[in-house]
Amino acid sequence: MVDPRISIIDERMRGIGRIIAVSSGKGGVGKSLVAATLALTLAKKGYKVGLFDLDFTSPSTHIILGIESVKPKEEKGIVPPIVHGIEYMSIIYYSGEHVSPLRGADVSNALIELLSITRWKRLDFLVIDMPPGIGDATLDLIRLIGNIEFLVVTTPSQLAFETVRKLASLLKELKIHVIGVIENMKMDNSETTQLKARKLGVKFLGEIPYDLKVEEAIGNTDKLLNTILAKKVEEMAEKLWHNQKN
Amino acid sequence: MHEWALAEAVIAAASQVAEKEGLKEVREVKIKVGELQQIELGILEFALSQLKPTKFKDAKFSIKVAKAKLKCRVCGHKWLFKKEKMDESAAEAIHFVPEIVHTYIKCPKCGSPDFEILEGRGVWLESIKGVKQEDG
C-alpha cells in the first residue's frame, strides 16, 4: 500500500521561494518568538510570507501574533487565512485551545496531512516554527522537503549550545543548509557562543539582548515590532532578503 | 472540498506507480479510505474523475472503506470510532487532521488519550492494474 500524500507534497511546495525551519536543540530559547517576528518582519518588507506552526503539542505563534477567530478556507484543500500580511497555518484551527497529546508517529502523520492538503499561494518565504529538538518533525521535513533550510536559535547557556551542536552536526552530515545561529536572551558581552558557532562551521547571525518588553508585547504585533528583539531580527533578516535577491 | 486535495495526491501517487511499473494504460485503481477521516466518497470519486490524466481514462476507481479501529495503549481496550457520538466541530477537525482524534476522544474504558489508530486512518493507494508498454 502506498501513502498517496507523500506524492503531492513537492507540488504543494513548488510555489515557495525559501522554506526556513526555525529550530533549536532545546525548548525555551525563544524560537517561536524569533519565527513569528521573522515572518512579520519579512511581510512588513513586502515579501509574500507564510508561517507554519509545526509545534503541534505546544503551538504558540498564534498567541505571539494575537491570532484569534480565523479559519482556513476549504478550497480543493485548505487555504490558510492571511493575518498581519502572513499566510498563517497552525494545528490550533483544529485542536482549538485543547491539548493534543500526540506521539511521534501521530506528529508525523499530522505533519504529512497538513503538508499535503495546505495550498499556499506563491510565497517568497515560508517560515516554519519547529518543535524543539531533533524529533519526528525535523526528520520528516528533511525527508519530505528538498530545499529546506534551518535557522537555529540558542541562548548563552552552554546547555542550549550543546544541543545546537548536535542539531547542526546532523544537518551538516545530511547536507542540509544551515542559514546560521542566532543567540537570544543575551545578558553580557561574552563571545563564547559566537566562537563555538564558528568552530562548528556555522554562520553566527547575531545576538538578541534579553528584552523585558517582549513579554508585554505578546499578542500585539505593533508592540512586538517595536521591541529590541524585532529590531535585531530585522537586521538579521536583511541578510536573508539580500541572499534572496542575489 | 478537501477531498479534492486527497484525490490529487491519489492521482499523483498512482501516476508515479504506473510510471515505475511501465504501464501505458491504467485500468484499475484500488483505494482504501479510513472511516476516521469521514471522506465524502461522492466528492472523492468526482474529483478523481475530473483529475485523471489520459493514461487513466478507462481506469475504474474502486474505493473500500475501512472501519477505524482504536486501541488504548494504557489498558489495551479496543473500540471502533463512531462519528455519530461526536459533536460536529470535533468531527470536522478530525476530518482534516485525523490525529486530532487524540484531542477529542479518550479510551471509553480508562479515559486515556494515549491510544493507537490500528486501522482506518486516512486514504491509501492499495493497488493499480493496467497494460504494460511491452504488452502492445
Q: What percent of chain B has pLDDT over 90?
A: 90
Residue A6 lies in a domain: no
Q: How far is A104 from chain B (nearest CA, A)?
A: 11
Which residues 63-102 on chain B approach chain A with CB closer than 8 angstroms? 93-94, 96-100, 102
Average pLDDT in chain B: 94
The pLDDT confidence band at residue A194, using thresholds 50, 70 and 90, is very high
Confidence of residue A245 (pLDDT cuts 50, 70, 90): very low
Which residue out of A1, A2, A119 would a mutagenesis test of the B interface target, given it has the greatest number of B Cβ atoms within 10 Å?
Answer: A2
Domains of chain B, by residue range, sit at: 2-131
Nearest by CB to residue A102, choosing from B8, B9, B102, is: B102
Q: Is A188 a domain residue?
A: yes
Which numeric CATH code is attached to B2-131? 3.30.2320.80
DSSP one-letter string for chain A: -B-TTHHHHHHHHTTEEEEEEEE-SSSSSSHHHHHHHHHHHHHHTT--EEEEE---SS--HHHHTT--S---EESSSEEPPEETTEEEEETHHHHTTS-----HHHHHHHHHHHHHHB---SEEEEEEEPPSSSSHHHHHHHHH-TTEEEEEEE-S-HHHHHHHHHHHHHHHHTT-EEEEEEEEEE-S---HHHHHHHHHT--EEEEEE--THHHHHTT-HHHHHTSHHHHHHHHHHHHHHHHHH-
Rounded average pLDDT over A176-199: 95
A6/B102 Cβ within 8 A? no
CATH number at residue A80: 3.40.50.300
Question: Cβ–Cβ of B123/A5 closer than 8 Å?
Answer: yes
Q: Is residue A33 part of a domain?
A: yes
- A34-69 pLDDT, tens digit per residue, is 999 999 999 999 999 999 999 999 999 999 999 998
**The domain containing residue A73 runs over which residues?**
13-245
In the predicted model, is pLDDT for residue B136 greater than 80? no
* Distance of residue B109 Cα from the nearest chain A Cα, in angstroms: 18
Residue B1: what pLDDT? 61
- Give B17-49 pLDDT, tens digit per residue: 999 999 999 999 999 999 999 999 999 999 999
Question: Any idea of the CA torsion for A228, A229, A232, A238, to the nearest 10 degrees?
Answer: -130
